[in-house]
Structure 1
């Protein structure tokens, strides 16, 4: 009995919901650590990010902002509510809408997302390669990009949604440079990443 009391006392009540959290409950929480996500009702805490991860997010978001056409906007680490028990933060997302949806908005729905990008970190390999892409696809987000690290260089894997199977199919693997025409024309020259490592 004493042991149970010690264990219960060392874990805040909000960490132990009986059946997991809903996305709405999660989005109403104000005291969670930064970059906490909700996957299948469970809270997922992120490890501190590494320089490569931070620099890659800055690089992609900055280049997207320079190149996206009118009617699209770029977000960094903004929550997307994918399912009733899942709300995650893509590292970079491109959404429809030329203006913010309100300064107090803390999430978006998947139907406004055109593209989501995940930069893989050592602690997020399974989530970024498997769990999150499946959930993005099931939610109907048309484009997904995954950024991996090969030594000091990025490699970007691009995918497009197959609407019949609700799964992603590969549209390319890019190292050194990325040039694509969808979801909008964009060019990324990976040597520019060095400018963000300063």
Structure 2
């Protein structure tokens, strides 16, 4: 009589007492791409939306064009906040001198000038509440939150107020975004969701 093999079940990593640490993120086997560490817990990304893909591409490309030469724009790369927090902003602007090794997997928070998060339905509370608090405590001076409002991109801009150590809103931008910090930027936000036209219209 043959014995039916037991159905395989996914094996989830059991966190150690106190939670995972920032170093564990580089050594845990079989983690999905873009796994983050928030308060000692692993956070997995949900399937990507077209809006998020376009927005991340847009800001990476546009900021790379206008950023000063001493800064570098990087997409989807983890940042060391502290021992139990290693989030992965969708786009960051960093001091270029921290890029020393092509095999490095993270940047120190003190090197980040700007962090951008593109909000997804499952990340809304993290991007609106959890991450801004942690970015501000890590002294990241600028934070932009990008949201999809009925098919249109809206960007919420925040700057860290040194006296309180918290972010304060400095603008909400709908169709056009024009700011002077962390460097001058003038962007047509309608390009994020505009359909690409055929190169050879009939």
Task: Give the alignment's TM-score, normalised by structure 2.
Answer: 0.88
The answer (yes or no) to whether the contact 1:76–1:93 under 8 Å persists in 2 is: yes
Higher helix share: 1
The equivalent of 1:137 in structure 2 is 136
SS of structure 2 residue aligned to 1:87 = coil
Q: Which is greater in Rg?
A: 2
The answer (yes or no) to whether the contact 2:98–2:111 under 8 Å persists in 1 is: no
Q: Post-superposition shift, 1:15?
A: 3.2
Distance 1:102 1:186 in 2: 29
Distance 1:167 1:18 in 2: 31
The answer (yes or no) to whether the contact 1:57–1:76 under 8 Å persists in 2 is: yes
Seen in structure 2, the aligned counterparts of structure 1 residues 44 and 158 have a Cα distance that, compared at 3 Å, is: same
Aligned residues: 191
The equivalent of 1:184 in structure 2 is 183
Task: Give the alignment's TM-score, normalised by structure 1.
Answer: 0.90
List runs of 5+ in structure 1 lacking aligned partners.
1-5
Seen in structure 2, the aligned counterparts of structure 1 residues 103 and 160 have a Cα distance that, compared at 3 Å, is: same
List runs of 5+ in structure 2 lacking aligned partners.
1-5, 198-202
The equivalent of 1:33 in structure 2 is 32
Deviations 1:80-123 (CA, angstroms, capped at 9, x unpaired): 01111000110000001168321000000011000000000001
Seen in structure 2, the aligned counterparts of structure 1 residues 25 and 196 have a Cα distance that, compared at 3 Å, is: farther
RMSD: 2.0
The equivalent of 1:83 in structure 2 is 82
The answer (yes or no) to whether the contact 2:158–2:169 under 8 Å persists in 1 is: yes
Q: Post-superposition shift, 1:162?
A: 1.1
